[in-house]
Amino acid sequence: MDFVVPPKCPICKNIYTTERKPYILQPCCHGLCKDCIKALRDHEGDNCKCPQCRETIIEEKPNFELIELLPDLTVAPFYTDKLLELTDIIGAVVTIGAEVEMFSKIIVDRIVYKSQIKEVPHSKRNWTEGDKKVLKRLVLDIKGIILVSDIEFTNIVKWIEVLSFPEHIETYLVSKTVQMFEKKNFLKLREAIWLMEILPITV
Ligand SMILES: [Zn+2]
Ligand SMILES: [Zn+2]
């Protein structure tokens, strides 16, 4: 099953939406989302540098050409729609509540990458680039949830369990979740959660 991957902000890895608008930086022309430029401006004010090339940002403008191409996700979030499509295949009628909506990306990824996830070897040393890519995706899904919400750790762990990953993958994802929560709490005390959005994820 292939889904068209919508364009993402290269910094926070969230898909651009009509809410999370894409912005273009001048003069370097790198792109990022409204939330990321806001976080940078709030923190660095006039001395903002592009997170990708470190060039000083003179100004930022909405990327109107890209905005026109975006589906209206404020009406129906992309992954919630995908999730509904998938449940449609099963023939079930479902209503998606707010918390399920928040988890819809990881649920969709769990279903779409089912066969790859099953093949991921137990030993990390044997992971292929493809394995790492899928796992990174799952970790980023969790990171997104941690960043946009105040969800409790035990709640995310429950969700990971519910998604019934193979045991070693579950252990891996839970340990990554622990790390991300520790980072978030550390950065929160320093009013620097925005840093977490910018820093890359290692698998
Ligand atoms: Zn962003
Ligand atoms: Zn740049």
Q: What is the pLDDT of residues 146-200, one digit of tens each?
A: 987 888 999 999 999 999 999 999 999 999 999 999 999 999 898 888 788 778 8
* Ligand in nearest proximity to the CA of 57: 2
* Ligand in nearest proximity to the CA of 148: 1
Q: Find the 28 Cα to ligand 2 centroid distance in Å.
A: 4
Q: What is the enclosing helix (H) or strand (E) of 175?
A: helix 167-189
Amino acid (1-letter code) at residue 47: N
DSSP string spanning 21-36? Answer: -EEEEETT--EEEHHH
Q: Find the 15 Cα to ligand 2 centroid distance in Å.
A: 19
* Ligand in nearest proximity to the CA of 34: 1
Q: Give domain status of residue 80, yes or no.
A: no
Q: Give domain status of residue 87, yes or no.
A: no
Q: Give domain status of residue 44, yes or no.
A: yes
Q: Which comes out higher in pLDDT, residue 183 or 66?
A: 183
Q: Which comes out higher in pLDDT, residue 98 or 8?
A: 8
* Ligand in nearest proximity to the CA of 10: 1
Give the position of tokens 């970790």: 139
Count of domains forming the chain = 2
Residues that place a CB less than 5 A from ion ligand 2: 28, 30, 50, 52-53
Q: Look up the domain containing 44 and give its range.
A: 9-69
Q: Find the 201 Cα to ligand 1 centroid distance in Å.
A: 14
- The overall average pLDDT reported for the chain is 86
End-to-end, the C-alpha distance of the chain in Å comes to 24
The pLDDT value given to residue 5: 54
The CA distance from 8 to 31, in Å, is: 10
Q: Find the 39 Cα to ligand 1 centroid distance in Å.
A: 9
The pLDDT value given to residue 96: 77
Q: Which comes out higher in pLDDT, residue 95 or 196?
A: 196
* Ligand in nearest proximity to the CA of 35: 1
The CA distance from 162 to 103, in Å, is: 11
Q: Find the 31 Cα to ligand 2 centroid distance in Å.
A: 8
List, in sequence order, the alpha helices (H) in 27-166: 34-44, 64-69, 78-90, 98-102, 104-112, 114-119, 129-148, 153-162
Q: Which comes out higher in pLDDT, residue 77 or 161?
A: 161
* Ligand in nearest proximity to the CA of 38: 1
Q: Is residue 65 located within the same domain as residue 103? A: no
Q: Give domain status of residue 92, yes or no.
A: no
Q: Find the 21 Cα to ligand 1 centroid distance in Å.
A: 9
Q: Give domain status of residue 154, yes or no.
A: yes
pLDDT at 12 over 80: yes
CATH number at residue 14: 3.30.40.10
How does residue 92 score in pLDDT terms, banded at 50, 70 and 90? low
